[in-house]
Amino acid sequence: MGFNSALADAGEFGLYQRLLCFVFLLTAIAYLSLSYWIQIFILMVPDHRCRDSPDPFSAASNGTKCGTTNFSANGSRNCPQGWEYDFSTLFPTAATENDWVCENAWRVYVVHTFYWVGSILGQLFFGCLTDRLGRKKTFCWVVLLSVLSNMGTIMAPDHMTFTAARFLTAFGISTISTTSFMIVMEYTGPRNRTIVLCTWAASWTSCAAMLPWIAYALSNWRWLLCVPFLPASILLFVSWWVPESASWLMTKGQVSKAAELLHKVAEVNGKNLSSQYFYDRLVSSTLESNGTKPEKKESFVQTSLGLVKYPNMRKKTFVLLISWLIIHLCYNGNSLQTSNLPFNIYVSFSVGAFLEIPVNMFCILSLDRFGRKWPDVICLYIGGILGIISGCISPNAEHEIFVMAMLVRITFAAGTNITFQYTAELFPTEVRGRGLSLQRMFGAIGSCLAPTVVFLAEIDRLLPMLVLGCLSLVAGSLIIILPETTGHQLPHTLEEGEKFGAHENFCSIFSSKKKNEIDECGAKFGRDNLAADVPEGTQGVFILTAKETEAKL
C-alpha cells in the first residue's frame, strides 16, 4: 500500500509513535479502566440486617436481611427503621446510601442495565462518527460527555437522575477505547503493533489493580467518582496535539492533509522529508493502484454495508462479533464472580488484576512469533477447560476455588487482549471505526448477559463456571476460521479487506517469518487475485510483510 510505504519512510515506531502510545493511549485506557471498575464498586452492597434487630449482625438474631420476624403478630414485616450495613468489609456505596436493597434491590439492576444499554448505543453512534467525522473529533466529544455525566452522577438527587447519568457516562466512555487504539495503531507499523496492544493491556491492568485500594483509602463513592477526572483532564489537555488519522484522511481523499501529518511524524522522528515528498508518494501510489479508472465514491451507508455485503468480509465480521460477545461475557462473568469468592473483596480484585500482568508478557513474547490466531485459540480452550473443571470442585475447597478462578481470569484476559488487536487488524481502515464499535457493542451485549449467567449460582453452584467454560470453547472454535494477520499490512479499502485471507488455508496456522512460507500464502490470497489493471509489484498489494515493504522502498 502507498500509505504503508509512506509511513515506513516517516518511521513506523519512532519518537512520535512512542509519545502517542505511552502518553495518549496509556492515559486514555487508564480513564476507561477506572470508569469501568468504578461502576461495579459504587453499586456493591455489603452484608446488611434490619436496624431494629437487637444485634444486627449476630447469627442468633431474629433480624434478617429483608425483614424482622414479629412474633406477637406471628408474621414478617419489612424493616421499618431501615438497614444496618457491615462496613467492615466495604465502604458506603450509592446502593447503601439510598437503601437499594431487598424490595428496592431492583434499582441496582436497573442502573447496571441502563449503563450497558448506554454502552451499546454509544458504540453504535460514535462508531459511525469516527468513520464519518474522524477519530480525533469523536474522541474529544466522548471524553467531554463522559466527564460531564460523571459529575451528574455525583450530584444526582434521585434514582432516575442517577440512572440517566450512568447511561450517558457509558454512552460516551464506551468509544474511548476503540478510538484511541485506532489512532495509535494506524500510525504504527506491523512489527510494533503488539507493543500498542500491550500498552493498552498494561494500563487497564494497573488501574484495575490500584482501584480497590483507592476505594479503600477514600471510603466514599462520590470521591471515588472524582478519580477519573485526573486522566480525563490530561486527555483534554493533550487533545490539541493528538493528530487525526492520516490513514483515515486517505480514505476520504484528503491526500494533502495526510501528507502534512506524515511530514510531522517524520520531523519528530528525526527524518528530513518534506510534505511534498509524502504528497507525491501518496498520489503516485493512489494513481498506480487505481490505474486510469476514475475512483467511484460510495456513500457512508454503502461502505457500512460493505461489512456484510461481500462474502469474505461477511464471514469475518460475523465470526468476530459472535466470538467477541462470548469472550466479553466470559471475562465479565468471571470478574463478577470475584466478588463472590470467600476472600476479602479488595484483595480478590487486586490479585485478579495483578495476575493479568503475565498475560501482557505472554502477548509481548508470543504474538509476533506465533501469530494472533493460535495463541488466542489456545488461551480460550485452556480457559474453557479450566472453567469446566472449576465448576466441579467441592464448595468446601475454598483455596482451590480461588486458585482456579484466578487461572480462568488469566486465560480469559489473554483471549480478550489478543482478540481486540486481532479485530482491529482485520477490519479495513475505511470501516474500521464502525467495525470496532460494532464489535464493542456486541461486547456490551455480552456484559449485559454476564450477570444472568452468574445468577445461575442460585440454582446450582456449578452452573456459572460450567456455562462460561463451554462458551469459551465455542469462541475458540470460531477464531480458527479467521485468517492470520501477523506481519501483514493493514487493509485500507473494502476491496483489500475482502481479498485479505479470502483463499487462505492452514498455511497460516504458524506465522513463520521465512519468506518462502509467507510468499506461499501470499500467492494464494493476495497477489494472484489483484485486479488486472493493478500493475505488478505495486504497493497496493496489501499482504506485504514488513521486510518485503522495506525491500521495495
Q: What digits encode the pLDDT tens for the residues 110-140?
A: 888 889 888 888 888 887 888 788 889 889 9
Give 164's pLDDT tier (boundaries 50, 70, 90). Answer: very high
Answer whether residue 516 shows pLDDT above 50.
no
Q: Nine-digit cell at 225?
A: 467518582
Report the first-to-last Cα separation within the chain, whole angstroms. 11
- Per-residue CA distances from 409 to 386, 388, 422, 466 (Å): 10, 13, 20, 14
Please report, as a single letter, which amino acid is at residue 517: E
Answer whether residue 62 shows pLDDT above 90.
no
In this structure, what is the dihedral angle of CA atoms 234, 222, 172, 156, given to the nearest 10 degrees?
A: -140
Reduced to 3 states (helix: H, G, I; strand: E, B; else coil), residue 54 is coil
For 395-405, what is each residue's pLDDT tens digit? 677 778 788 88
Q: Nine-digit cell at 477?
A: 472454535
- Per-residue CA distances from 329 to 66, 186, 232 (Å): 30, 28, 27
In a 13 Å sphere around the CA of 352, the CA atoms on its Cβ side amount to 28
Residue 49 vs residue 94, higher pLDDT: 94
What pLDDT does 370 receive?
84
Answer whether residue 338 shows pLDDT above 80.
no
Q: What is the mean pLDDT of residues 200-205?
A: 86
What pLDDT does 67 receive?
59
Q: Which residues touch 173 (CB under 8 Å, ≥6 apart)?
A: 31, 32, 35, 36, 119, 122, 142, 146
CB 469 within 8 A of CB 388: yes
CB 50 within 8 A of CB 85: no
Answer whether residue 510 shows pLDDT above 60.
no
Q: Please state, in angstroms and rounded to a whole number, the distance separating the CA atoms of residues 216 and 372.
A: 38
What pLDDT does 540 receive?
32
Q: What is the mean pLDDT of residues 164-190?
A: 88
Residue 302 vs residue 198, higher pLDDT: 198
Q: Please state, in angstroms and rounded to a whole number, the distance separating the CA atoms of residues 215 and 252.
A: 45
Q: Which helix (H) or strand (E) holds 46?
A: none
CB 246 within 8 A of CB 4: no
For 407-440, what is each residue's pLDDT tens digit? 898 899 889 888 887 888 888 887 887 888 788 8
Answer whether residue 297 shows pLDDT above 60.
no
Q: What is the largest CA-CA distance in the chain?
A: 94
Q: Which helix (H) or strand (E) holds 397?
A: none
For 232-260, what is each residue's pLDDT tens digit? 999 989 888 899 988 888 878 888 999 99
Q: What is the mean pLDDT of residues 512-530?
A: 37
Residue 521 vs residue 27, higher pLDDT: 27
Residue 180 vs residue 553, higher pLDDT: 180
What pLDDT does 144 receive?
92
Q: Tell me the domains of the chain and their CATH numbers.
A: 1-51+84-288 (1.20.1250.20), 310-503 (1.20.1250.20)
Q: What is the mean pLDDT of residues 53-72?
A: 47
Residue 74 burial by Cβ neighbours in a 10 Å radius (0-12, 13-18, 19+): exposed
For 6-21, what is each residue's pLDDT tens digit? 888 899 899 999 999 9
Q: Number of helices (H) and strands (E), helices first, in the chain?
A: 25, 4
Any idea which residue has 460531564 for its cell? 148
Statement: the pTM of the whole predicted model exceeds 0.85: no
Q: Nine-digit cell at 273?
A: 522529508
Residue 68 vs residue 179, higher pLDDT: 179
What pLDDT does 535 receive?
33
What pLDDT does 520 receive?
40
Please report, as a single letter, which amino acid is at residue 122: G
Any idea which residue has 496456522 for its cell? 509
For 76-93, what is each residue's pLDDT tens digit? 446 777 788 888 878 899
Query: Per mean pLDDT, which range of 232-236, 383-387, 540-544 is the poorest?
Result: 540-544
Please report, as a single letter, which amino acid is at residue 520: E
What pLDDT does 285 receive?
67
Q: Please state, in angstroms and rounded to a whole number, the distance separating the CA atoms of residues 438 and 226.
A: 29
Residue 22 burial by Cβ neighbours in a 10 Å radius (0-12, 13-18, 19+): middle
